[in-house]
Amino acid sequence: MAIVDEDLERLRASLVLSDVVQQYVALRKGGSNWVGLCPFHAERSPSFNVRDQTGRYRCFGCGAAGDVFKFVQEIDHVDFVTAVESLAAKAGIQLRYTTGESGDRTRQKRRQLVEAMSKAVDWYHDQLLNSPDARGARDYLRKRGLAGETARTFKIGWAPDDWDALCKGLGVPADVLRETGLGFTNKAGRMQDSFRARVLFPILTENGEPVAFGGRILPGSTDPAKYKNSSETPIYAKSKTLYGLNWAKGDIVAADQVIVCEGYTDVIGFHRAGVKRAVATCGTALTEDHVRLLKRYASQVVLAFDADAAGQGAAQRFYEWEERYQVRVSVARFPDGKDPGELSVSDPEGLRHAVDQALPFLGFRVNRVLNSRRLRSPEDRAQVAGEAMALVNEHPNLEVRRLYAGQVATHVGIPPADLVSMAERRTKAPVIRMAPVRRVGAAENAEFVCIAMLLQRWDDIAPWLMEDLFGEEVARRAFLAVADAGGAIEAALELADPDAREFLERAAVADVDADPVLEARNLIAAATRRRLAQMVGVTEADELRAMRDARVALDEMEEPERADVAAEALLGWLQGAHEGRSSEGESDQQHS
């Protein structure tokens, strides 16, 4: 089978190459060309050039080159005919074929099924907007912030509480209804609708073709199945489909980040909050096919669901995917009991903040363990260290394990060398030598001790401290209040928010007997390891050199005669990084 040459040239003439490419790649004008980061290989400096005058693209980094048809073939991993048909459908151009072979029949069948699904999307959407039967659905969506323009944008629909309303009203052959999963033959031998009395969310491919539905019952329904999704069909594979990708891919490419949710309403919530780079799995766990698909659009994947649950038995796969597809997986932290859909209504700024403050996948899981209980005894510290190191040692990268081992050691008050050694051997059941426990009113970590000493011995420790040494949010806010107050406890309490105030009140009365410089060094070491963990994967020469120097200084901090000089060097490095981020933030604000 072949497409008529005349139609190919007519389609080619109707397309602007940069318009097609910008659906996948963020481009900027550079002379007569458009320039951007190559979508076919990882790069930090743009070497991908698009020239509309000739209709050709070329990457001077990896050598990828071609015309608009070749670009769609490569970016969507499809054959030539599929790429042409996809472009023709968007351009509204009818194609003609020279033969009628089996491949043509397969494509025609797919088009028939997709057209039936498209009719169903419109039919269900019209039911939602106009049917008296849908009043309860409209009320439900209005309460969830999903009515009006939002419902129209996402083509939300309503399946009537009827046996065969769609099958009768759609005007589609029974075999097509069955193949698309829209209907089935019941025991009486009659066609019956697959969805009844449910709010429906159409599921589209990344190219905008409707292929399935996700349905939700209304509150008060007696149906035990809260959610019902289309079964797999010739046009729908759950493990290869992500809800919302068709709407989100432009923003995903621009941000080089994709947010993966659990549900359809979570995706819509992100869009309503102005974060339009969210997608959702369709009733399945995140799969390698999903990651392979997302890698075409972004290198950063933020999980907007319970990463602890996802991590049970799946952590190793996540790390393998990070290595194989050169993506970074992180986790957004939401207030307890809140999901993205709810936050988009009650606190959209909090939703955006949760994504901005996402932690690396391993860091999120380790922090959950470290903050799971108070450290009241040496046994508590040993148990928390063991649980945290069990997670750390799942990671295949030795350098990452070492850095997290240092963080765990600082938190629980164990000599770092012990846990670093465990990380190197990937020991699962460690025997831990406990360092002496400081005398404090409540079992707290090193950050608490330093805040207590800042209140009680300002002159001895203040020169060694800065904001970025405090990794825990409450401790950081408490430090800022004390710093702004110059060490005066009453003034600090007035400046602090409620959580930081409670923290300071405990610190002010804590019985701390420790060396202030040594405690500050511990924080500097922990902050350095956090910073190094964030820099894993950098390639620029200056940053690599800075990382090497920081690791050398970390080692020198273990040597008493060099410890102070090394700590001062690391403190300066951290301060420089902090000021660099602050200046970038100010620049972003000035340009926004």
> Could you tell me the fold of the domain covering 5-91?
DNA Primase; Chain A (3.90.580)
Q: Which of 66-80, 183-197, 311-325 has the lowest mean pLDDT?
A: 311-325
Q: Which residues pair with 159 in a beta bridge?
A: 198
- CA-based nearest residue to 302, from 248, 265, 345, 348: 248
**Predicted model pTM:** 0.62
Q: Of 557, 26, 115, 49, whose CA–CA distance to 297 is shortest?
A: 26
Q: Which residues fall within 8 angstroms of residue 490, CB to CB, at 6 or more apart?
A: none
Q: Which residue has the tokens 């409540």?
A: 442
CB of 557 within 8 A of CB of 563?
Answer: yes
Q: In the predicted model, what is the mean pLDDT of residues 579-587? A: 59
- Tell me the per-residue pLDDT of 134-173, one tens digit each, with 9 for 90 and over: 999 999 999 888 989 999 999 999 999 999 999 999 999 9
How far is CA 175 from each of CA 181, 313, 372, rounded to the nearest angstrom?
Answer: 10, 40, 55
Among 73, 90, 71, residue whose Cα is nearest residue 82: 73
CA distances, 511 to each of 478, 516, 530 (Å): 18, 14, 28
Per cent of the chain over pLDDT 70 is 92
Q: What angle do CA 323, 324, 329 make, to 5 degrees?
A: 50
Of 89-98, 301-310, 368-377, the least confident: 301-310
Cβ pair 63, 57 in contact under 8 A: no
pLDDT band, residue 503 (cuts 50/70/90): confident
Is CATH 3.90.980.10 correct for 113-226? yes
The pLDDT score that the predictor gives to residue 276 is 93
Reported as type and span, the H/E element at residue 19 is helix 17-21
Token pair belonging to 263:
């549900």
pLDDT at residue 99 in the model: 62
The answer to which of 129-133, 321-325, 387-391, 400-404 has the lowest mean pLDDT is: 321-325
For the chain, first and last CA: distance in Å?
52
Q: Would you say 440 and 455 are in contact if contact means Cβ atoms under 8 Å apart?
A: no
Percent of the chain whose predicted confidence (pLDDT) is above 90: 33
Q: Are strands 56-59 and 65-66 parallel, antiparallel or unpaired?
A: antiparallel
- Give the range among 106-120, 175-189, 436-450 with minimum mean pLDDT: 436-450
Q: Write the pLDDT tens digit of every residue in 178-223.
A: 999 999 999 999 999 999 999 999 999 988 899 999 999 999 888 8
Pairing mode, strands 210-216 and 198-204: antiparallel
Question: Within a 13 Å sphere around the CA of 448, how many CA atoms are in the beta-carbon half?
Answer: 24
- Over the stretch 233-275, which tens digit does the pLDDT of each residue have? 999 989 889 999 999 988 888 888 999 998 899 999 999 999 9
Distance, CA of 52 to CA of 75 (rounded, Å): 18
pLDDT mean over 348-355: 88
Short-list 552, 582, 558, CA closest to 570:
552
Phi and psi (nearest 5°) for 385? -60, -45
Q: What is the mean pLDDT of the chain?
A: 85
Q: Among residues 156, 143, 278, 297, which one has the least CA distance to residue 220?
A: 143
- Confidence bin at 97 (pLDDT 50/70/90): confident
Confidence (pLDDT) at 307: 55
Q: Give the domain 240-357 fold.
A: Dna Topoisomerase Vi A Subunit; Chain: A, domain 2 (3.40.1360)
With cut-offs at 50, 70 and 90, classify the pLDDT of residue 308: low
Per-residue model confidence as pLDDT tens digits over 507-542: 877 767 778 888 888 889 888 988 888 877 777 788
Phi, psi for residue 381 in degrees, rounded to 5: -65, -40
Three-state SS sequence of 404-446: HHHHHHHHHCCCHHHHHHHHHHCCCCCCCCCCCCCCCCCCCCH
Range 529-533 contact pairs with CB under 8 angstroms and sequence separation of 24 or more? 529/403, 529/404, 529/406, 529/407, 529/410, 529/554, 530/403, 530/407, 530/471, 531/468, 531/574, 531/577, 532/403, 533/360, 533/363, 533/400, 533/403, 533/404, 533/407
If you write DSSP's letter for every residue of 238-271 in order, what string do you get? GGG-EETHHHHHHHHHHHTEEEEESSHHHHHHHH
Q: How many other CB atoms sit within 10 Å of the CB of residue 47? A: 16
From residue 239, give the alpha-carbon distance in Å to each of 195, 286, 291, 311, 410.
Answer: 22, 8, 10, 18, 41
| Cα four-point dihedral sign 110, 118, 143, 275 | positive
Q: How does residue 89 score in pLDDT terms, banded at 50, 70 and 90?
A: confident
Retrieve residue 360's tokens.
């690396």
What tens digit of pLDDT does each residue of 452-490 get? 888 888 888 988 999 889 988 889 999 999 998 888 887
- SS3 helix, strand, coil % of the chain, rounded to 5? 55, 10, 35
Locate tokens 């194989």: which residue? 324
Given this model, what pLDDT does residue 87 score?
92
